[in-house]
Amino acid sequence: MKRVLTVQDISCLGKCSLTVALPIISALGSETVILPTAVLSTHTAFKDFTCKDLSDQIAPIKDHWLSQNVRFDAIYTGYLGTIEQIEQIKGLIDSFKDDNTLVFIDPVMADNGKLYPAFDMDYVKANATLCEKADIIVPNITEASLMTGMEYRTEHDEEYIKTMLAKLSELGAKVSVLTGVSLEEGKIGVMGYDRESKEYYLYQNKKIASSFHGTGDVFSSTCVGEIMKGRDWKEAMRIAADYTVHTIEVTLNNPEKPWYGVDFEATIQELVLM
Ligand code: PXL
C-alpha cells in the first residue's frame, strides 16, 4: 500500500486541510500519515478562531520517524502557518524524499486576489522557495500572481495563463498546475505545464457561481490519492476537477448546507468507485 505524508493544519471545524485530506486520501486507498502544523478551532474564515502553533513538534516527530526508517510515496503539503514552519518543512522534505517520492505542494495562502489574514509578502516569498522542492505545484491564480509578480486578473486569456505557467515553472517544480483557469465563457478548470516534456494540459468543467472554503483541499487531496493509484498527473487533475465540481453541486442542493465547507462526505463513495 502506498503511504502518503500530508502536512497541514487541523481546523477542527470547517471541512478543510487535514479533515479533508485524511478521509479522501485514505478512501482512495493510501495509508495517510499526518503531520499537523497547528490546531485551529475553525478555519480562518470564521471570526475569533483560536490557533495553537505546533512548530515545536515538527523536529521531534521527524526524528522519531527517521529512527523508525519510515518512507513515504508522497509528501503533500497544504496550509502552513509561518515562514519558520515552511523552512522546517523544507528540511522534512530533504530528510524523507527519495527518487520515488512524489512531492506535491499546494501553496495555500490566498484566493480571490487577496492573501489570507495571517500572511504577508515575506510569507509569499517563502512559499515560492518551498515550491522549488516540488514535483507538482497547484497554486490558484491569486497565489501564482503573488509568487510570480504578475498582475492578478479576474478575466484572463490563454497567453496570460501560459506566461504565468512559464514563470511558475521557473520556481523549479516539474509540473505546474494553475487552478481557477477560465478560458471559455461558463467554464472553469485547470491548466498544467510539464517543464520537461514542455506539454500543456487544459481541462475545464462548468463554472458554478458559488464558491466554498476547502474546495482547493478537496481538489489537491483527490489529485494526490489518484496519482498514488497510478494515474498520471493529467488524469488525476481531470478526476479531481470533476469530483470537486460535482461535490459543490451536491452541496448546493442540500437545504441544510453549512456555509463553511462542502459536503464531500456525500460524494466520497462515488469517488472511490470511479
Ligand atoms: O482550505 C484552506 C485553508 C486551510 N487551513 C486554514 C484555512 C484555509 C483557508 O482559509 O483558513 C486554517
**Closest residue CA from atom 7 of ligand 1:** 43
**Closest residue CA from atom 6 of ligand 1:** 43
**Ligand 1 atom closest to the CA of 11, numbered from 1:** 12
How far from 82 is each of 44, 62, 127, CA to CA, in Å? 14, 18, 10
pLDDT digits (tens, 9 = 90+) for 146-161: 999 999 998 999 999 9
Centroid of ligand 1 to alpha carbon of 8 (angstroms):
9
Cell digits for 180? 481557477
Residue 9 is classified by DSSP as E
Torsion of CA 16, 98, 173, 107, to 10 degrees: 20
Res 117: pLDDT: 83
Task: Supply the pTM of this predicted model.
Answer: 0.97
Centroid of ligand 1 to alpha carbon of 134 (angstroms):
20
Res 192: pLDDT: 98
First to last CA, the chain: 19
Residue 261 is classified by DSSP as S
How far is residue 199 CA from its own chain's centroid? 21
Centroid of ligand 1 to alpha carbon of 42 (angstroms):
9
- Tell me which residue of 77, 10, 20, 80 sits closest to 42, measured CA to CA: 10
| Structural contact between residues 50 and 40, judged by C-beta atoms closer than 8 angstroms | yes
**Ligand 1 atom closest to the CA of 16, numbered from 1:** 1
Domains defined along the chain, listed by start: 3-273 (3.40.1190.20)
| Structural contact between residues 144 and 184, judged by C-beta atoms closer than 8 angstroms | no
| Structural contact between residues 148 and 168, judged by C-beta atoms closer than 8 angstroms | yes
**Ligand 1 atom closest to the CA of 216, numbered from 1:** 1
Could you say which residues of the chain have pLDDT below 50? none
Res 209: pLDDT: 85
